[in-house]
Amino acid sequence: MTNFDPQPARDQLPLAGEPYDRWILPGGTVKAEFRRAGDGFMLRFPGEADFAIAAGGTQVTGWPAPDVAHDHFISLFNNAILPLIGDHAGGLFLHGSAVAIDGRAVAFLGESGDGKTTLAGAFAKAGHPFLTEDVIELVADGADYLLQPKPSGLRLYADSAEWLIGAPTGADSSDDKIDVTGAMALPFAAAPAPLAALVLLGSDHEAALSLAPVPQAVAVQHLLPHSFVLDVEDKPRLRAHFSRIVGLATKVPCYTLDYTRRYDELPRVIAAIIAQIAKVGG
């Protein structure tokens, strides 16, 4: 159990020492920096927040940067810090979105901007409940992996939100993110669901529709970039983490998904995924 102690906002003054790891977004922006702090860790999200994680992950203290919305600060804790601590403790977490199709989970993984949330929202709009957004938590259960539901809402860029809702959102910028869950009363699956497939979204947004199986050995390499690792220098934990990813790739089919990123293409994408999942044994 992790106790979170949020503190008042403070300026992000320079930190001692060099980061031992960084999260870098596709465009080159540094999303997070990882430093050691005694027996624990200090994570900085530049311009957003700092988090001090005590050894063992039982205590986290956080400081939002000035003018950062409280909801965003809490979201960073829930969607980044907790999964990092969970993986460090032996859990299995991936960055992505997931929906339920006929009682089974399908997870979407991809880089920021590849359309994971838009696709999950389109599935939910079509009557297939969403299970989680941002963080996929998997619990091994015999031959299955149960995907744990997280009612975090679906946050979309303004243009995708307007398409999904079918009405203007009133956003000031297309870069604004809108939570569409309440506005649409999208269905949410509140019970854990066995994971039927992992779907990796391609980065070519002009590609023709293709849903292709990925060999197990290749799937491992695809899954690793979407996982949460707190300490890349802790070799025993890295080996255990790698073993969990291999186990997942061995038991759950993985597919690459390419399609033209147009809203009128989404019904075809949904139909292709549903047809493929129907072929996968339940």
* pLDDT tens string 123-168: 988 999 989 988 999 999 988 999 999 977 667 667 777 777 666 6
Is 245 found in the same domain as 222?
yes
Task: Name the more confident of 116 and 211.
Answer: 211
Which domain does 114 fall in, by range? 92-279
Is 197 found in the same domain as 176?
yes
Is 81 found in the same domain as 214?
no
Percent of the chain with pLDDT over 90: 74
Neighbours of 79 (CB within 10 A): 18
- State mean pLDDT over 63-87: 95
| Residues ≥6 apart with Cβ < 8 Å to 251 | 143, 144, 145
Is 139 found in the same domain as 100?
yes
Is 82 found in the same domain as 99?
no
Provide the 3-class DSSP secondary structure of residue 95. Answer: strand
Q: How many domains does the chain have?
A: 2
Boundary (domain end) residue, out of 88, 104, 132 = 88
Is 271 found in the same domain as 181?
yes
CATH of the domain at 274: 3.40.50.300
CA distance readout (Å), 282 to 47, 130, 194, 212, 252: 45, 19, 9, 19, 11
- Angle, nearest 10°, between helix axes 216-223 and 235-251? 130
pLDDT value at 183 more than 60: no
pLDDT for 217 equals: 87
Q: Tell me how far apart the alpha carbons of residues 129 and 131 are, in angstroms, rounded to a whole number.
A: 6
Q: What is the mean pLDDT of the chain?
A: 91
pTM here?
A: 0.90
| Residues ≥6 apart with Cβ < 8 Å to 145 | 92, 138, 139, 194, 195, 248, 251, 252
pLDDT for 117 equals: 85
pLDDT value at 90 more than 60: yes
Mean pLDDT check: name the lowest of 18-22, 207-211, 276-280: 276-280
Task: Name the more confident of 163 and 70.
Answer: 70
Burial label for 9, CB within 10 Å (0-12, 13-18, 19+), is middle
pLDDT for 178 equals: 66
**Distance between the two ends of the chain, CA-based, in angstroms?**
33
Is 257 found in the same domain as 180?
yes
pLDDT for 281 equals: 67
pLDDT for 57 equals: 94
Is 104 found in the same domain as 66?
no
Is 136 found in the same domain as 228?
yes
- Per the listing, tokens 């802790």 go with 234
